[in-house]
């Protein structure tokens, strides 16, 4: 039979994974809005998002685990892909004069993928891969040993 601490720990890891998933989607959406509003590339946001996802997973019990590394890499990739898909839909919406909602309904996933392929440079792709590696590494690394306390006496 499981103890209460083991159950809450497992629940905490599940909630941490769900939080990282939802945060990656939210970060991808914010990233795409910032790019659409500023007109700048903002590829560096992939690294900031990677660090955030790694932090969420680490504080929720995934530090140093293979599952945590896998989730970090997948969720970082998801944020990058989601942002690029939203940017592709935004580009098409601007070109066609439709709203984002109408554009999503009118164009299919295959067209979105084609636009994403056309708009991502090799430099951006490499940056996204490096961000995924960073996120996985940050989750994989062990925490530093806590400092020892000096005793008076």
Task: Return mean pLDDT, the chain.
Answer: 88
Average pLDDT score over residue span 26-32: 96
User: What is the rounded distance in angstroms from the CA atom of residue 84 to the CA atom of residue 120?
Assistant: 8
Which of 68, 54, 74, 50 lies closest to 127 in space, CA to CA? 50
In this prediction, residue 2 carries a pLDDT of 46
Return the pLDDT at 1: 44
In the predicted model, is pLDDT for residue 29 greater than 70? yes
Q: How many CB atoms sit inside 10 A of residue 63's CB?
A: 18
Share of the chain above pLDDT 90, in %: 58
Which of 22, 26, 2, 3 lies closest to 14 in space, CA to CA?
22
First to last CA, the chain: 46
Distance CA 99, CA 129 (A): 31
CA distances to 66, 147, 150 from 153, in Å? 44, 19, 9
């Amino acid at each position: 039979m499981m103890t209460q601490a083991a159950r809450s720990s497992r629940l905490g890891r599940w909630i941490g994974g769900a939080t990282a998933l939802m945060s990656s989607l939210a970060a991808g959406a914010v990233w795409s809005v910032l790019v659409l509003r500023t007109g700048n590339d903002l590829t560096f946001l992939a690294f900031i998002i990677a660090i955030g996802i790694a932090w969420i997973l680490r504080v929720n019990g995934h530090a140093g685990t293979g599952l945590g590394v896998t989730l970090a890499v997948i969720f970082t990739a998801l944020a990058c892909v989601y942002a690029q898909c939203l940017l592709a839909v935004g580009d098409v919406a601007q070109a066609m004069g439709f709203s984002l909602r109408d554009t999503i309904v009118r164009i299919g996933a295959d067209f979105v993928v084609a636009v994403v392929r056309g708009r991502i440079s090799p430099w951006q792709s490499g940056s996204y891969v490096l961000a995924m590696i960073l996120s996985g590494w940050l989750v994989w690394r062990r925490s530093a040993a806590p400092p020892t306390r000096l005793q008076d006496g």
